[in-house]
Amino acid sequence: MTSEAPWSHDLDWPHGLAPFDPFDTDIQCDPYAHYAWLRDHAPVIRAGQRETPLYIVSRFGDVTEALRNAHDFSSVPRRDIVIPGFLLNSDPPDHTRLRHSASRAFTPRAIAAVEPVIAKLIAERWEPIVSAGGGEVIGSFASPLTIAVIATVLGIPVSQSETMREWTTASIEYLGMLFRGVPNASANDTALTSMLAYINAVFDTVDVTHGETVVANLARLRNEGVLSAEEAAGFACQLFMAGHETTTLLTGNCLDFLSVNPDIFARLGAVETIPKFLDEMVRYRPPVHRLTRYAARDVEIAGCRIPAGASVRLLIASANRDLAKFEDPDRFDPLRKNAAHAGFGYGIHMCIGSWLAKLEVRLMLETLVATTARLEPDTRWPRQPLAGGAFATVGLHSLGLKVTPL
């Protein structure tokens, strides 16, 4: 029998847990106790404004079923807004064509070509931190490294990294305003327009006849008409916007975890364990905590009715801790046999750039193993969680570490 999803503030929450509110900054800093209670007692709830509620879904089976079902759960926030090349906000059949075409840029040869360049960028940025005995590692290492890596992959000079970061931040804010229907939002499109124009200029000058790089492949797909000019540039912009913050947060989560788990850091010395460690980190502490879908029609999840047009928040970080899917889910286990998590998404919207995040963080961990004897928290710099916004990403804004060299 279908019922209405309960409101978060109407539930009988246990002592110590405030009603779940995705905009509560205290909950954003450590939401896992709330996730566990929701999975056990209220797998679908309503939160936010009564006029326009958010439907919150927390169990693995329900989350992944919605992510698989693009027919009933749309990724397009408003049908009158289409950003060419943006896979995150597209549905089939456009999504199918765009993903298939854009994925052709990520050939094995193109990926292999960037690996030594990324390794060099990491070494150049980690060495000063080792030499100094540590420091604040989000703003001085993880964030500039990630934007430099994406710039390198797209054939953009690293000297332009800071400009790209500024454009990326402003463009994300603009798109959020646009999708929420903020009045006069279109007046804030300067950064996105500038970034698209710059990337198109890069495509115009890249050599598409020699070598095989991601940027050359995208330019070639554009020149051949497989992707339109707008789609190719839009896809490149999405790599910046979707990849910068998430990979920065994943890098910070790894460093933070290893600094308080020296036994695991010691075992990381066997290079073959690094990919398993990384995969478990994406399950255990993913940088992305929720994905948003929009009910294309009246639908039902876990016996609860969700009306057409409703905004549905799928808690992939909660799904990754679901006992129904993972044995002892709150324990970090890099040797976990079942690693089928939703940390990089699920279904047709599985993150197309996850290979780049995995490559960058794997090379970073290999650099740590080769140069660093120990990581420890350093309270001279605050361990400051990322908080605020719409609760899409969770991680650290700043982190101080003491670094002991080998």
The domain ranges of the chain are 3-405
CA distance 301 to 43: 9
The pLDDT confidence band at residue 406, using thresholds 50, 70 and 90, is very high
Query: How much of the chain is helix, strand and coil, in % rounded to 5?
Result: 50, 15, 35
Residues 6+ apart with CB under 8 A from 267: 273
Average pLDDT over residues 236-241: 85
Tens of pLDDT, residue by residue over 337-366, are 887 899 999 988 888 888 889 999 999 999
pLDDT value of position 171: 86
Residues 6+ apart with CB under 8 A from 345: 67, 288, 291, 316, 351
Tens of pLDDT, residue by residue over 151-209, are 888 778 888 888 988 898 888 888 777 766 677 777 788 999 999 999 999 999 888 88
pLDDT value of position 390: 63
Average pLDDT, the chain: 90
Cβ(56)–Cβ(45) under 8 Å? yes
The H or E element spanning position 405 is: strand 400-405
Query: In which order are the strands placed within the sheet that holds 3-4?
Result: 3-4, 304-306, 299-301
DSSP 142: I
**Of the candidates 220, 155, 166, 227, the residue with the CA atom closest to the CA atom of residue 195:** 166
Average pLDDT over residues 13-23: 94
The pLDDT confidence band at residue 245, using thresholds 50, 70 and 90, is confident
pLDDT value of position 123: 97
Between 241 and 396, name the one with better pLDDT.
396
What DSSP string runs through 171-230? HHHHHHHHHHT-TTGGGG-HHHHHHHHHHHHHHHHS-SSSS--HHHHHHHHHHTTSS-HH
Average pLDDT over residues 318-341: 94
pLDDT value of position 101: 80
What DSSP string runs through 275-298? HHHHHHHHHHS-SB--EEEEESS-
Superfamily of domain 3-405: Cytochrome P450 (1.10.630.10)
pLDDT value of position 271: 64
Residues 6+ apart with CB under 8 A from 7: 45, 46, 47, 50, 53
